Amino acid sequence: MNRFDYVKPATVAEAIAAAGAPGAAYLASGTNLLDLMKGNVVRPERLVDITHIKELTRIETSGNGDVRIGALVRNADLAYDASFAKDFPAVAEALLSGASAQLRNAATVGGNLLQRTRCAYFYDPASACNKRSPGAGCDAKGGDNHQHAVLGWSEACIATNPSDFCVPLTAFDAVVEVEGASGRREIALEALHLLPGTTPERETMLAPGEMIVAVRLPAAARAFARNARYLKVRERNSYAFAVVSAAAGLVLENGSIKDARLALGGVAAKPWRAHDAEALLAGQPAEHGSFERAAEAALRDANPSGDNAYKIPLARQLIVRALQAAAQGTPSRMPALPASPFSSVPGVLHDA
């Protein structure tokens, strides 16, 4: 690990000023950043410790019903907040399916949004990686790539975004509040992460020195609370990142779908919102055939980036399962195995 300066600001303004120095990085819980530093994947010259900024630790409901989640709220605290879990059950289910309980107790909302890809070649400084070293090449293209992207990838990078949390946030139109030297602004969560194109080293819309201060879920997302699920396929049923995941939400009326939300994880460098599938579902009966057509639309542009063609039919089937689970109804209690397709807890049917 390289030598670095350590700064501990007391306010957001102080943190942004400290992070204006070249080579600075924000430190929250460090569950991802410190691993990268220890492996010499990243070498920040200054760590700006924001863990003592109290204004970033709140969960608040605004006058219009939006829920604002401070960037330092712990993943576990948010998932176990009874009011939040009732209003946004798919988000809570996604949080509880990510990592171990110990990591969820430490990891923060803002850090989750900015965690880096888990591509093994990115983590190995001896491997060529355009994301880590622009212009170096991409060893994943000819290597072990069975878990890599099938949507939105480029010849420069085929890595995927590892976040569970970001998938339902994308589905339900979350907004990210960021602050930097030029002031505060908002970015739709769907737009926060960038596809690789020819510049995979640029992963988000954040400008240098900008900091996520909060995530906001709109009041309108509560309309899906009665019929919302997050499902995740992983190589083992705990402590593993998604091979493929899906967040689904439905508004049902007399057996028909009045409105739908659908997003995928594990398939691209960003959480993937399936707008075409949502449009197909609107006005259709909440039945298997409708869900299959939506799944086909969601994966219409998918292509394997290597030895991962299996991901495409897997993602289709998971979409169908997620939509079926959402149509059954949000469970009255969190499944014993959150987000697992093998959970024994059925949905609870709700009247429209």
Query: Is pLDDT of 348 > 70?
Result: no
What mean pLDDT comes out for the span 235-248?
91
Query: Is pLDDT of 155 > 60?
Result: yes
What mean pLDDT comes out for the span 157-164?
98
> What topology is assigned to 224-328 in CATH?
Enolase-like; domain 1 (3.30.390)
Return the pLDDT at 142.
95
What mean pLDDT comes out for the span 9-37?
96
Spatial CA neighbour of 264 closest among 216, 230, 228: 230
> 181-190, 237-246, 267-276: lowest mean pLDDT where?
237-246
Query: Is pLDDT of 201 > 60?
Result: yes
- Per the listing, tokens 């990210």 go with 176
**What's the CA gap between 229 and 248, in Å, rounded?**
5
**What's the CA gap between 266 and 298, in Å, rounded?**
14
Query: Is pLDDT of 297 > 90?
Result: yes
Return the pLDDT at 352.
35
Q: Is 254 helix (H, G, I), strand (E, B) or coil?
A: coil
**Which sign does the torsion angle of CA 144, 149, 157, 121 carry?**
negative
Return the pLDDT at 350.
45
Return the pLDDT at 280.
98
Q: For the stretch 156-181, what's the b/e string if a residue is b when 16 or more beta carbons lie within 10 angstroms of its beta carbon?
A: bbbbbbbbbbbbbbbbbbbbbbbbbe
Return the pLDDT at 336.
80
Category of 239 on φ-ψ map: left (φ > 0), alpha (ψ -120 to 50) or beta: left
Return the pLDDT at 70.
98
- Per the listing, tokens 């010499």 go with 40
Residue 160 near residue 131, CB atoms below 8 Å: no
Give the residue extent of every domain in the chain.
224-328
Confidence of residue 17 (pLDDT cuts 50, 70, 90): very high
Return the pLDDT at 333.
86
Confidence of residue 237 (pLDDT cuts 50, 70, 90): confident
**What's the CA gap between 94 and 71, in Å, rounded?**
17
Query: Is pLDDT of 349 > 60?
Result: no
Confidence of residue 341 (pLDDT cuts 50, 70, 90): confident
Query: Is pLDDT of 351 > 80?
Result: no
Residue 177 near residue 134, CB atoms below 8 Å: no
Query: Is pLDDT of 79 > 80?
Result: yes
Phi, psi of 180, rounded to the nearest 5 degrees: -150, -165
Spatial CA neighbour of 19 closest among 31, 6, 30, 36: 6
Residue % of the chain over a pLDDT of 70: 98
Return the pLDDT at 345.
65
**What's the CA gap between 15 and 217, in Å, rounded?**
25
Return the pLDDT at 129.
98
What mean pLDDT comes out for the span 289-294?
98
Return the pLDDT at 347.
57
Helices 288-298 and 311-328, packing angle to 10 deg = 140
Query: Is pLDDT of 235 > 70?
Result: yes
Return the pLDDT at 2.
87
What DSSP letter does each residue of 163-210 carry, written as one string? -STHHHHHHTT-EEEEEETTEEEEEEHHHHB---TT-TT--BSPPTT-
Q: What is the pLDDT of residues 30-54, one digit of tens each?
A: 999 999 999 999 999 999 999 999 9
Return the pLDDT at 335.
84
Average pLDDT, the chain: 95
What mean pLDDT comes out for the span 55-66?
96
Phi, psi of 13, rounded to the nearest 5 degrees: -60, -45
Q: What is the pLDDT of residues 100-147, one digit of tens each?
A: 889 999 999 999 999 999 999 999 999 999 999 999 999 999 999 999
What mean pLDDT comes out for the span 304-332?
97
